[in-house]
Amino acid sequence: MKRQLLSGEKMIRQEERNEIARELHDSVGHRLTALLMQLEAARVQTTDEKTKEKIQEFKTLAQKSLKDTRKAVYAMKSDERSGIQAIIQLIKKLEAESHLAINFIVQSGILNMRLTNEQSATMYRGIQESLTNMMRHSETKKATIEFSLLGNRIVQFKVSHAMTQKRVIKEGFGLSNMRNRLEELGGSLEVLQTDKAFTVIGKFPLERVE
């Protein structure tokens, strides 16, 4: 009975830690992410070098704060699993806070899939980076995000937005980091461009490929 009581108390404490972690991620972490997107858009648009330097200082501070928040979240959370619905809710909050217009397409079967924390974080950050690139390099704030399940074992997310003209694709830190994180999951990243649209496609298997 004593062991059962201790186990129950431990479970309750972990649930409390998970709830605090979710609150940190959904509120503080999300607002910092939205702030970074807005700062980057402002930095690209300004032509004054001193203003750019000051914005970069603000970005660095926000990035450090976001990193610390994520460390706290991961330290507090257990190995719980989440799904696409949770990611969609996070993106919707980001959409509202960043004044974006996002059209979601969810293919049959994908909502029932459970993802690890690492998979969920990689997908969310990949989508967030794609939206940041959209704000940085295009004149639109409208995007389409599609989630699909390929062959019942490959999860795919696709982020696309309109382009008024073709641009030379240079894989900077954001895209490179996204590619590395997907490859660590046994997945891949693909960047496509046409005369009218720019598309980022990420995919990974439900189970890690060793």
What tokens appear for 168 in the block? 């030379």
Number of H helices and E strands in the chain, helices first, is 6, 7
pTM: 0.62
Domain ranges in the chain are: 1-80, 81-210
In sequence order, what are the residues at sequence separation of 6 or more whose Cβ sits closer than 8 angstroms to the Cβ of residue 59?
36, 39, 40, 43
Distance CA 15, CA 20 (A): 9
Of the CA atoms within 13 Å of residue 141, those in its CB half-sphere come to: 11
**What is the CB neighbour count within 10 angstroms for residue 128?**
22
Q: Which of 94, 153, 87, 157 is nearest to 117 (CA)?
A: 87
Which fold does the domain 81-210 belong to in CATH? Answer: Heat Shock Protein 90 (3.30.565)
Distance CA 30, CA 196 (A): 30
Encode the chain (210 residues) as per-residue pLDDT tens digits.
444 334 334 433 444 555 555 655 556 777 778 888 888 888 888 888 888 888 888 888 888 877 777 666 665 454 444 678 888 888 888 888 888 899 999 988 888 788 887 888 889 888 988 888 888 777 788 999 999 999 888 999 999 998 876 666 666 677 788 889 999 999 999 988 887 888 999 999 987 544
